[in-house]
Amino acid sequence: MWRPLVFICVIIVPKIVNGAKKHDDFGNRLALWIDGKEVDKFAGVEMDIFIIRDGRVAAYLRDSHLDAGLPILPMNVEIVQLTWAAPDDLYTYEFTDLRSQDPHTMFDPLLSIPQKGYVPNKKTTFKMNLPCTGKLTGSASMYIALQIHNSRGAKVPGCPLRIQLRKQCIADENQRICAHTCANGGKCNQNGLCACAKGYYGDRCQLAACFPECINNGTCIQPGICQCSEGYVGRFCERAICSKMCFHGGACVAPDLCECTAGFYGETCEQRSGSCRIPCKNGGTCTEHDLCRCREGYVGQFCQKPICKRSCGVNGRCVDFNQCECYRGWRGRHCNKTVRRIHHSKDGKTRKKRKKDRRNRRGAAQRRSKHSRSIQKLQWYHTI
């Protein structure tokens, strides 16, 4: 962004730079400038060019006719180094616009710092890159805008800083004709097509070739090299992985899936089939015709019944080794405890509260009856 300003200030408006300035002479307030050594690289004169000084944008940058008089930047201006410091306050900055108006000729300007943040207290440098695409020859316009606020939220005088620049770009020989960049060492031929290096194909040479092809959803990432999906290995992803070994001659045919030989079954082919019509349950082993040898905690012809050493009683049932499932209204490890319930009437009152209300009503009725009898007795005495 600011390299153009070097040419502006040195070539167009030399009167704004009243001689060379010391590199550390930026005052004790917010400043943004192009260092003299950086200016010397492009203009042959070592002097500081200030964009912001003493907390305000330089007057020549606020000229509304500035853009019209700016020269086109030469193609060798690609990276500009800027320096800034804010010793007097905590300033926030934001590059509100960094945009190429000719994206086929020039990319958007790039910063070596975040697009928004805080201006450092001490003298610090950062870079701005102005990259051409290399596809077209010509001048490209770019638009740059910078906003800075102090700790009270007030704008720095002269902000936002807005400037429109132009830069000369030239097409790269390899990209002049082809619509897309040729990848993986491909070259653009006279017909405007990418001539791919050995082992690559596609309109941009973006695809690698593997022979034979990668199987089981593998992806060819380089010629002859497959990147396998989870659960597969091998040069062409032809072998599945089983976390447990397949026994008795079984073969791993898919991730964690064994294909068993005749006479065996189970997750890892560890069970002998024998002559059981129904496979043994819960880890049981078939030993002879329709007879299973069961593991501890299970019984039955096919080991289908779990054992609970302490009975679940009539209030539950045994569903696994020493594990009861209680019927409704019962709880506990052995289903021997009732579930406490609070009974509610239609009006939302509990049984205990309804009983208390009845007692209170009976007491009130008795008191009223007693009071009525007392009044009747007094009236009878007065009539005598």
* Whether the predicted pLDDT of 357 surpasses 90: no
Given a contact cutoff of 8 angstroms between Cβ atoms, the answer to whether 231 and 256 are in contact is yes
Q: Longest C-alpha distance within the chain, in Å?
A: 141
CATH node for 187-233? 2.10.25.10
Q: Which of 146, 119, 144, 148 is nearest to 129 (CA)?
A: 144
Residue 375: band (very low, low, confident or very high) from pLDDT cuts 50, 70, 90: confident
Q: Which CATH class is domain 3-169?
A: mainly beta
Query: What is the average pLDDT score of the chain?
Result: 80
Residues contacting residue 93 through CB under 8 Å, at least 6 positions apart: 116, 117, 118, 119, 146, 147, 148
What gap in Å lies between CA 339 and CA 94, rounded to an integer? Answer: 65
For position 374, what pLDDT does the model report?
A: 75
Encode the chain in three state secondary structure: CCHHHHHHHHHHCHHHCCCCCCCCCCCCCCEEEECHHHHHHHHCCCCCEEEEECCEECHHHHCCCCHHHCCCECCCCCEEEEEEECCCCCCEEEEEEEEECCCCCECCCEECCCCEEECCCCCEEEEEECCECCCCCEEEEEEEEEEEECCCCCECCCCCEEEEEEEEECCCCCCCCCCCCCCCCCEECCCCCEECCCCEECCCCCEECCCCCCCCCCEEEECCEEECCCCEECCCCCEECCCCCCCCCCEEEECCEEECCCCEECCCCCEECCCCCCCCCCCCEEEECCEEECCCCEECCCCCEECCCCCCHHHEEEEECCEEEECCCEECCCCCEECCCCCECCCCCEHHHHHHHHHHHHHHHHHHHHHHHHHHHHHHHHHC
Q: Which of 254, 23, 200, 56 is nearest to 123 (CA)?
A: 23
For position 341, what pLDDT does the model report?
A: 62
Q: What is the pLDDT of residues 342-353, one digit of tens each?
A: 555 555 556 677
Residues contacting residue 302 through CB under 8 Å, at least 6 positions apart: 276, 278, 279, 280, 281, 284, 292
Residue 113: band (very low, low, confident or very high) from pLDDT cuts 50, 70, 90: very high
Q: What is the pLDDT of residues 223-261, one digit of tens each?
A: 889 999 999 999 999 999 999 899 888 899 889 888 888
What gap in Å lies between CA 19 and CA 46, rounded to an integer? Answer: 10
Residues contacting residue 65 through CB under 8 Å, at least 6 positions apart: none
Total number of residues shown for the chain: 384
Q: What is the pLDDT of residues 274-316, one digit of tens each?
A: 666 677 888 888 776 677 888 899 998 888 889 998 889 888 9
For position 273, what pLDDT does the model report?
A: 66
Q: What is the pLDDT of residues 43-73, one digit of tens each?
A: 667 788 888 988 888 887 777 666 555 667 7
CA–CA–CA angle 115, 120, 124 (5° rounding): 90
Residues contacting residue 163 through CB under 8 Å, at least 6 positions apart: 1, 4, 5, 61, 66, 67, 143, 144, 145
Given a contact cutoff of 8 angstroms between Cβ atoms, the answer to whether 304 and 313 are in contact is no
